[in-house]
Amino acid sequence: MALLNFRKKETPAPQAPVAEVEALLKDYSIEVMPRTAEKVEDFRALLPEGTRVYIAHIDGTPIEDMVATAARLNADGFKVMPHFPARIIKDRATLADWIARYQGEADVRQALLLAGGVTTPAGDFSDSMQLMETGLFDKAGFTRLHVAGHPEGNRDIDADGGRLNVDAALKWKNDFQTRTDAEMAIATQFAFDAQPIIEWADSLKAAGITLPIHIGIAGPAKLQTLIKFAIACGVGPSLKVLQKRAMDVTKLLLPYEPTDVISDLAAHKAAHPDFNITHVHLFPLGGIKTSATWVQENGGASGVPADAA
């Protein structure tokens, strides 16, 4: 089978990428921060035209830096999706101000809403549902809202209600889509093993949650870097994939690449056309250029940068 041939290739950039992998990587998205974006001279030389670029909002980042990054990416022709972490937003007025700035200065019309990694809320909001209930995004003409998903659990939520609380929140968000005209999807935390991802996605479908899933995948990076981020972000069962790799002396010093997990998910999707994972979202933990180059080498037409199209 072509998939097995793909896995056995020793070169990191197969000459003829597997069709299933190319299909899964089509319209992939990627995440940046203002400080990482500053290091990229030309996004159009790296990313396909119209790529959705999430802008992570880390607590302490000035909104001015976030908006400036959004304006730059929008001017380059990319779909900009800034994070709105509920727990770092002081109040409704602050939320309205952020929305107005993004809209007025960067023509942003979409957002990722999440609770955020802060334990104690800075103000009136503690979760993404409260942000949605304000009605401010709809009033400002935002047409697409993504929400967070965690295939291997979330320490913040698991500590207060466990899986039942997580599922209830996703059901609420699913219902929000049915009663509004917002286009919605679930953008997830990264994982390293396809099987837990598949089982989680299937469980959502069984629960009646129909939101499409944009699965988070860690881009190529040093093994030590990925293990550090995985532990910090609470990645669960699939962490053993990295730990097993760390025990292999022949692979210890080689950079991790998401070839196996992408190949497994692509094969599963090809065999199950109604699979609810529709897109890949890359976390460029080893650098934006490194992740974009990996897609160019493995994703065929799905990785062709805008300047080369």
CATH number at residue 79: 3.20.20.220
Does residue 237 lie in a domain region?
no
Please calculate the CA angle 62-65-70 and round it to the nearest 5 degrees. 130
Does residue 115 lie in a domain region?
yes
Does residue 303 lie in a domain region?
no
- Computed over every residue of the chain, the mean pLDDT equals 88
* 3-state per-residue secondary structure call for 15-69: CCCCHHHHHHHCCCEEEECHHHHCCCCCHHHCCCCCCEEEECCCCCCCHHHHHHH
pLDDT value of residue 269: 95
Could you tell me the pTM of the whole model? 0.88
Residue 203 CA to residue 87 CA, distance in Å, equals 28
Q: What is the pLDDT of residues 236-270, one digit of tens each?
A: 666 677 767 666 545 555 688 999 999 999 999 99
Residue 181 CA to residue 177 CA, distance in Å, equals 7
Does residue 148 lie in a domain region?
yes
CB-based contacts of 9, cutoff 8 Å, min separation 6: none
Does residue 249 lie in a domain region?
no
* H or E segment and range at residue 146: strand 144-149
pLDDT value of residue 156: 55
Least trusted range by pLDDT, from 8-17, 81-90, 163-172, 246-255: 8-17
Least trusted range by pLDDT, from 52-56, 116-120, 148-152, 303-307: 116-120
Indicate the number of domains in the chain: 1
CA pseudo-torsion sign 85, 87, 92, 98: negative
Query: Are 169 and 160 a contacting pair, CB within 8 Å?
Result: no
CB-based contacts of 63, cutoff 8 Å, min separation 6: 97, 98, 101
Does residue 68 lie in a domain region?
yes
Does residue 17 lie in a domain region?
yes
Neighbour tally for 49: CB within 10 Å: 14
CA pseudo-torsion sign 131, 137, 138, 142: negative
Query: Are 34 and 55 a contacting pair, CB within 8 Å?
Result: yes
Q: Domain of residue 98: give its range.
A: 2-218+257-282
Q: What is the pLDDT of residues 272-288, one digit of tens each?
A: 999 999 999 999 999 99
Confidence label for 223 from pLDDT (cuts 50, 70 and 90): confident
Neighbouring-strand partners of residue 219:
none
Half-sphere exposure of 263 (CA within 13 A, CB side): 17
Per DSSP, 221 falls in state: B
CB-based contacts of 36, cutoff 8 Å, min separation 6: 284, 287, 288
Does residue 235 lie in a domain region?
no
